[in-house]
Amino acid sequence: MTSQPSSKVDTVALFVTCLVDLFRPSIGFAAVKLLEDAGCQVVVPPGQTCCGQPAYNSGDRESAMAIAQGTILALEAHPAIVVPSGSCAGMLKRHYPELLADDMNWGPRARSLADRVFELTQYLAARGLRIDAQVAARATYHDSCSSLREMQVKEAPRDLISQVRELSLAEMAETEACCGFGGTFCVKFPDVSDAMAQRKVDCIRATGADLLLAGDLGCLLNLAGKLKRAGSTIAVRHVAEVLAGMTAQPAIGESGTGDSRMGDSGVGGK
């Protein structure tokens, strides 16, 4: 059950996710800007680390439970928790309650938290944020599997993207297919993962887009790595960066001072 974010909730906790924290803080700052534009006051609870997926998906239930408890403790005081990743949001929303279902103390707390967890674009769209950004590009959007199937996020990012001035969206074929990342899957089965990424990249290229967007950094690192290895000039960015108009940072896997095609529209980080 997804509860609607109420417009009265003004304080939101940003669960930044371990990948954004480590690899691409600019996504976190873009998320902060968008949430502030939507009238929220953003806090970043200090006790957060990782949602625990690596342990959970490796079968280490015990560690996953311990990490889940730590995360709940860090976040549960806040009326809304927003996550710039469908996969980590799905972990908090769908898997914590399952993981802790049998625990008299933590079970109810996990369920209560789950009711207040939102994927970023879902939250922004539900709050009716009007996007004020200009990015001249032909973009295509990759649905991450967790966004699509665990969080039911499909229209929200597209609605928001469609408001970006000078940006056109070209849908790729096979939007429901996985990009081959899969957390530890991509290093355990690199060849199979590569075949999957290759099919995804073929679909991306077929759109003629010069900008690839997605809401999950895992997929983005995978696809950027694959595209850059092949020498592609397609820029790869988290959807939040474009929605916030914060494209001054180089695109994922690129060097230098940002994509010149988009650089002029950047309003910079906070």
Partner 1 sequence: MTVLHDSNAFKANAATALHDASLQEALAIAREHSIPTRARAIERLPEFERLRNSGRDLKNHVIAHLDQYLLQFEQSVVARGGHVHWCPDAGSARARVLEICRSVDARTVTKGKSMIGEEIGINAFLEANGIEPIETDLGEYIIQLRRETPSHIIGPALHVTQAQVEETFRKSHDGLDPARNLDDPAALMAEARAHLREGFLKADVGITGANFLIADEGASVIVTNEGNGDLTQTLPRIHIVLASIEKVVPDMHDAMTLLRLLPRSGTGQELAVYVTFSAGPRRAADLDGPGEYHVILLDNGRSAYLGTEFEEMLRCIRCGACLDHCPVYHSVGGHAYGWVYSGPIGSLLNPALNGIENAKPLPHASTLCGRCESVCPMRIPIPKMLRHWREREFAGAIAPMPERRLIRLWAFFARRPWLYRLAARLAARGLHLLARGQGRLKSAPFAAGWTRHRDLPAPQGRTFQEQWRARS
Segment 65 to 124, residues that bind partner 1, using CB under 8 A: 66-67, 70, 74, 98
Q: Pick one of 115, 155, 188, 268: the residue that binds partner 1 (CB under 8 A).
A: 188
Q: Pick one of 1, 105, 130, 176: the residue that binds partner 1 (CB under 8 A).
A: 176
For the CB of residue 257, give the shortest distance to partner 1 in the complex, in Å: 11
Instruction: Using DSSP, state whether 49 is helix, strand or coil.
Output: coil
For residue 120, count other CB atoms closer than 10 A to its CB. 30
For residue 84, count other CB atoms closer than 10 A to its CB. 31
Q: Pick one of 9, 136, 138, 189: the residue that binds partner 1 (CB under 8 A).
A: 189
Query: What Cα–Cα distance (Å) separates residue 224 from each residue in 21, 75, 196, 242, 268?
Result: 18, 31, 14, 16, 22
47 binds partner 1, rule: CB under 8 A: yes
Window 210 to 249, contacts with partner 1 (CB under 8 A): 221-222, 224-226, 228-229, 249
For the CB of residue 224, give the shortest distance to partner 1 in the complex, in Å: 5
Instruction: Using DSSP, state whether 262 is helix, strand or coil.
Output: helix
Contacts with 248 (C-beta within 8 Å, 6 or more apart), sequence order: 257, 258, 263, 266, 268, 269
255 binds partner 1, rule: CB under 8 A: yes
For the CB of residue 248, give the shortest distance to partner 1 in the complex, in Å: 12
Q: Pick one of 210, 250, 263, 267: the residue that binds partner 1 (CB under 8 A).
A: 250
| CB closer to partner 1, 104 vs 176 | 176
Q: Pick one of 5, 28, 86, 157: the residue that binds partner 1 (CB under 8 A).
A: 28
Mark residues 140-159: x for contact with partner 1 by CB under 8 A, - for none: -----xx--xx---------
Edge-to-edge strand list for the sheet holding 134-142: 165-169, 134-142, 211-214, 235-238
39 binds partner 1, rule: CB under 8 A: no
| CB closer to partner 1, 66 vs 77 | 66
Q: Given phi > 0 = left and psi -120 to 50 = alpha, else beta, which region is 71?
A: alpha
Contacts with 121 (C-beta within 8 Å, 6 or more apart), sequence order: 153, 156, 157, 160, 215, 239, 240, 243
- Type of residue at 262: M
For the CB of residue 21, give the shortest distance to partner 1 in the complex, in Å: 4
195 binds partner 1, rule: CB under 8 A: yes
The pairing of beta strand 11-14 with beta strand 81-83: parallel
Q: Pick one of 158, 177, 210, 263: the residue that binds partner 1 (CB under 8 A).
A: 177
Helix axes 217-229, 190-206, angle to 10 degrees: 80
For the CB of residue 46, give the shortest distance to partner 1 in the complex, in Å: 7
| CB closer to partner 1, 43 vs 170 | 43
For residue 11, count other CB atoms closer than 10 A to its CB. 12
